[in-house]
Amino acid sequence: MFNERLKSHHDVGNIIGQHFGRMKRPVSSEEVEKILSKKAKEEIGGMYVHIPYCDKICSFCNLNRKQLDNDLEDYTAFLIGEFEKYGKTNYMQSKKLDVLFFGGGTPTILREHQLEKIFKSIRKNFRFTDNYEFTFETTLHNLTSKKIEILQENGVNRLSIGIQSFSPKGRDTLNRTYGKEETVKRLRKLKEIFNGLVCIDIIYNYPEQTVEEVTEDAAIIAELKIDSASFYSLMIQEGSKMSKDISDNTLQLNYKLETDKKLHDAFMEYLLSTGEYEILEYTKIVRKNRDKYKYIKHLNAGYDLLPIGIGAGGKLDNIDMFRMNYERQFFMMSSEEERKLKILSGLFQYPKVYFSDIKKYISEEVFKKIYELFKIYEEKKYLKLYDEHYEITPNGIFWGNNIDSEIIKLCLGGK
């Protein structure tokens, strides 16, 4: 039914963004200050902190990051200033953080004393729920035992580690540090000394990857009892080393849809067959009763997310926020219709969706049209319909973002 696969929920987000982009109204900093001077409508919220620096650039990456060229003292001071600025507002004082996510880049590139300063400032300026989730993205090579100790002492209870592949060929292609044996050894040790969740990223369908290699990735995850794995098909982004190598004809990427599906299914089916793992969302497989990944659940549900740091994006109330650099930050007003569609799209990232939840955001007439689409997808064996909900099939998981996009297009008036 689909000729081209959408690999990421960002593809769906772009559809919504393009539709509403021309309708969005820029918001002045004075308007934002007025909102921040008032009490928040919802007590629960989150915070995203961006560290746009790495000490080694992955070959596939074009994210908002650059190779480290200073000691980050200035950036540490900048972050602390932002924590203090927002922490003083009535808006943030009336909220409790249920999720806190340090992304990048590589947040653990910060030095030990810098981490301690940052954590002290966060604790001073913000309140937390009793069962908050605190995630730090990291690599293995700059996660020292002392840094692990500092993270744990300051409430970090979830690590997200960019492994990408255990295969020697894959690690070389993706420019990862350490070989397979050392990577497994360090992960095993981390599982022993870190009290929280150990989660990893996996990339499949890199050049010349085999089913045996992706199955071995899954087997190692199961053997180490990794708490969750985000698994993504390789996406070549403009500006990455891989995109330049392709342009220079020094790398060939012969993408085939059937290979993409074969590798995706082999990875997913191996972990599900162990009985210890389950699908949380289309690109996330988790150990049962372990990783809840509250951060992505908050994003999908439209909760406030305070963005801190250069390259950080988020929202407070109905204002989208993005920090371009030290001096420049821009704000855009989102409409209620856009907010509802974003939440609706978030619902369709999960393998089980209840019709009553869908109906909260659309009219009965639109739901009837969507339900007709569901019946077509059931015939294609992408999902199974029940009286009150539908459940995605393994085949449907592969096409999940395509399904999501078609539903959103229908809601926007598309054919």
Bond from prior residue into 311 cis (ω within 30 degrees of 0): no
Q: State how far Cα 40 lies from the chain centre.
A: 25
Residue in the structure block whose two tokens are 């592949």? 165
Burial bucket for residue 2 (CB in 10 Å: 0-12, 13-18, 19+): middle
Instruction: Identify the pLDDT of residue 58.
Output: 52
Q: How confident is the model at residue 306 (pLDDT cuts 50, 70, 90)?
A: very high
- Alpha-helical (H) ranges within 88-199 are 90-93, 112-125, 145-153, 168-173, 180-193
Averaged pLDDT of the chain: 93
Query: Residue 131 pLDDT > 90, yes or no?
Result: yes
Q: Is the dihedral of CA 146, 150, 153, 156 positive or negative?
A: negative
* Spatial contact of 324 and 314, defined as CB atoms under 8 Å apart: no
Where do the structural domains in the chain lie, given as residue ranges? 10-23+335-415, 42-301
Q: How confident is the model at residue 251 (pLDDT cuts 50, 70, 90)?
A: low
DSSP helix/strand/coil, 51 = strand
Give all strands (DSSP E) within 15-82, no chain letters.
25-27, 44-51, 53-54, 66-67
Instruction: Identify the pLDDT of residue 64.
Output: 45
Burial bucket for residue 271 (CB in 10 Å: 0-12, 13-18, 19+): buried
Q: How confident is the model at residue 243 (pLDDT cuts 50, 70, 90)?
A: low
User: Letter for the amino acid at 210?
Assistant: T
Query: Residue 123 pLDDT > 70, yes or no?
Result: yes
Closest listed residue to residue 413, CA positions, set 16, 39, 68, 124: 16
Tokens of 55: 């000490």
Mean pLDDT across 159-167: 97
Instruction: Identify the pLDDT of residue 390.
Output: 98
% of the chain beyond a pLDDT of 90: 86
Instruction: Identify the pLDDT of residue 122.
Output: 98
Mean pLDDT across 40-58: 88
* Spatial contact of 274 and 262, defined as CB atoms under 8 Å apart: no
Query: Residue 1 pLDDT > 90, yes or no?
Result: no
How many residues in total does the chain contain? Answer: 415
Q: Which helix (H) or strand (E) element contains residue 18?
A: helix 9-21
Tokens of 121: 């400032």
Query: Residue 56 pLDDT > 90, yes or no?
Result: no
Q: How confident is the model at residue 32 (pLDDT cuts 50, 70, 90)?
A: very high
Mean pLDDT across 124-147: 96
User: In 10 A of CB 186, how many CB atoms?
Assistant: 15
β-bridge pairing 158-164 and 197-204: parallel
Tokens of 319: 């204002």
Instruction: Identify the pLDDT of residue 71.
Output: 86
What's domain 42-301's superfamily in CATH?
A: tm_1862 like domain (3.80.30.20)
- The 10s digit of each residue's pLDDT in 324-368 is 999 999 999 999 999 999 999 999 999 999 999 999 999 999 999
Tokens of 179: 């070989």
Instruction: Identify the pLDDT of residue 248.
Output: 63
Instruction: Identify the pLDDT of residue 247.
Output: 62
Q: Which helix (H) or strand (E) element contains residue 138?
A: strand 128-138
Instruction: Identify the pLDDT of residue 175.
Output: 87
Torsions phi, psi for 206 (to 5 deg): -75, 165
Q: Which residues contact 202 (CB under 8 A, 6 or more apart)?
A: 163, 164, 165, 217, 221, 229, 230, 231, 232, 267
Query: Residue 296 pLDDT > 70, yes or no?
Result: yes
Residue in the structure block whose two tokens are 């969706």? 353
Mean pLDDT across 80-87: 98
Q: Which tops the pLDDT comparison, 59 or 173?
A: 173
% of the chain beyond a pLDDT of 70: 92
Angle at the Cα of 88 from the Cα atoms of 83 and 94, rounded to 5 degrees: 105
Instruction: Identify the pLDDT of residue 24.
Output: 87
Q: Which tops the pLDDT comparison, 273 or 65?
A: 273
DSSP helix/strand/coil, 237 = coil
For 10-23+335-415, CATH gives 1.10.10
Q: Which tops the pLDDT comparison, 175 or 166?
A: 166
Give all strands (DSSP E) within 261-382, no chain letters.
277-281, 284-287, 304-308, 313-316, 319-323, 329-333, 352-354
Instruction: Identify the pLDDT of residue 67.
Output: 45
